[in-house]
Amino acid sequence: MEQAAAFPGRSSVGLRRRPGNVRVLNRKDLPAAIRVLSINPIENVMVAARVRAAGLEQSSLGCPIWGFERDGVLRALCHVGSNMVPVNADAEAVAAWADFAGPRRPCASIIGPSTVALGLWRELSDRWGPAWRDVRNVRPHQPVLAISKDPQVTPNPGVRKVTLEHWDAYFEAAVRMYTEEVGVSPVQGNPAGYRFYIRQLITSGRAFGLFDGNRVLFKADLGSVSGSVCQVQGVWLEPELRGRGLSAAAMAAVVQLARKIVPTVSLYVNDYNLPARASYARVGFSEVGEFATIHY
C-alpha cells in the first residue's frame, strides 16, 4: 500500500471554519440539491446523474448524500458511496464533512475538483488517521474536458452502440481497461456486480465499441448522463493498435453518437497520459476544469 508523504493542495483549501451544519439529506431536500448540482453541470454530472435517477434516499440511491448548510441554505453536497464526491464545496464544507465522517472509511476513492478533493483527503487524514490517510495512489491533476460541437476529425463509421450479442467480449474488454487504468480488477470481490453494471450500460444504449468479429478493438461508455451533459468513461484501445492514430476517429464517433443524446460531452483524463490528451484535442475537446482522484 502506497502512502503519500505530503498532502498536495494543503494551502489552497485553507483551514478557516465558519458556522455550518452537516446532515444526511432526504427526499425533501431534492429541489435544493438539484439547485446546487446545477451550478456547474459539467463538473457535477456524476452526482447529478445519480440523484436525478434515484433521488436522495439512501434506500434507492444506495448511499447517503451529506449536505452542508450555512445560514439555513444548502450550500454543498457530498456523495458518500464507493466514490466520495464533493459538490460545490468550500473550505468550511470540507472541514465540516471531515469532522462528520468518523474513522471508518466507506469509500474506495475520493473524486472531485482537484483542490477540494485533495483538501478533503488531507482533512480526513489529519482528523482520523491511517484509515483515510493510507492510499494506493493519488492523481492530483486530471484535466476535465468538454465538447459541445461536432468533432473536428471524421468519425470512424465502425464505432456503434454495443448490443447484448457482444456482452461477454465487451465485459472482458472493460475488465482489461479498468485493471490497466486503476491497478486492480473491478471483479475482485464482486464479479457478478460488475458484469451486471456492464449489461446496464449496454441495454441503456450507453456503451460504444469497434469490433473485429467478436473482438473488441475500441470501447467507451457514457458513465453519467444528466440534463444536457454526459461524461465518457472507460475509454480503451486494444494495446497492439495504439500509436497508429486510430483513437481520435474512434472518439469522434463516440462524440457524434453521444451528442444525439445530450449536447455536451465531457470526460477527465490523467495529466500524464499525453497521447490521450493529444487525441482528445484533435477531436475538439477543450479543458474546462481539473479533477483529482485518491484511490484506496
The answer to whether residues 172 and 44 belong to one domain is no
Residues 6 or more apart whose CB falls under 8 angstroms from that of 166 comprise 202, 209, 211, 214, 216
Question: Digits of tens for pLDDT over the chain (296 positions)?
Answer: 343 434 444 433 444 445 689 999 999 999 999 999 999 999 999 999 999 999 999 999 999 999 999 999 999 999 999 999 999 999 999 999 999 999 999 999 999 999 999 999 999 999 999 999 999 999 999 999 999 999 999 999 999 999 999 999 999 999 999 999 888 899 988 889 999 999 999 999 999 999 999 999 999 999 999 999 999 999 999 999 999 989 999 999 999 999 999 999 999 999 999 999 999 999 999 999 999 999 99
At 18 the pLDDT is 52
Q: 100, 135, 170 — which closes off a domain? A: 135
Grid coordinates belonging to 40: 456547474
- 1 in any annotated domain: no
- 3 in any annotated domain: no
The answer to whether residues 165 and 45 belong to one domain is no
Structural domain that includes position 269: 147-290
- 83 in any annotated domain: yes
The answer to whether residues 120 and 234 belong to one domain is no
At 6 the pLDDT is 42
Choose among 61, 66, 94, 92: nearest CA to 80: 66
Query: Which CATH number do you get for residue 219?
Result: 3.40.630.30
Q: 109, 135, 161 — which closes off a domain? A: 135
φ/ψ (deg, to 5) at 191? -60, -35
The answer to whether residues 168 and 278 belong to one domain is yes
Q: CA 33 → CA 27, 192, 260, distances in Å?
A: 10, 32, 27
Strand arrangement of the beta sheet that strand 109-113 belongs to = 21-24, 65-70, 73-80, 83-87, 109-113, 286-295, 137-147, 264-268, 229-237, 215-226, 207-212, 160-161
Number of domains the chain contains: 2
The answer to whether residues 198 and 94 belong to one domain is no
The answer to whether residues 113 and 242 belong to one domain is no
The answer to whether residues 152 and 247 belong to one domain is yes
At 3 the pLDDT is 39
CA dihedral 41, 42, 47, 49 (to 10 degrees): 80
- 78 in any annotated domain: yes
Q: 135, 156, 174 — which closes off a domain? A: 135
The answer to whether residues 97 and 20 belong to one domain is yes
Query: What DSSP designation does 154 have?
Result: P
The answer to whether residues 177 and 270 belong to one domain is yes
Largest CA distance in the chain: 61
The answer to whether residues 116 and 201 belong to one domain is no
- 296 in any annotated domain: no
Choose among 230, 229, 233, 216: nearest CA to 268: 233
- Alpha-carbon distance of 257 to 254, in angstroms, equals 5
The answer to whether residues 77 and 183 belong to one domain is no
Under the phi-then-psi rule, with left for phi > 0, alpha for psi from -120 to 50, and beta for the rest, what region is 71?
Answer: left
* Cα-Cα end-to-end distance for the chain: 9
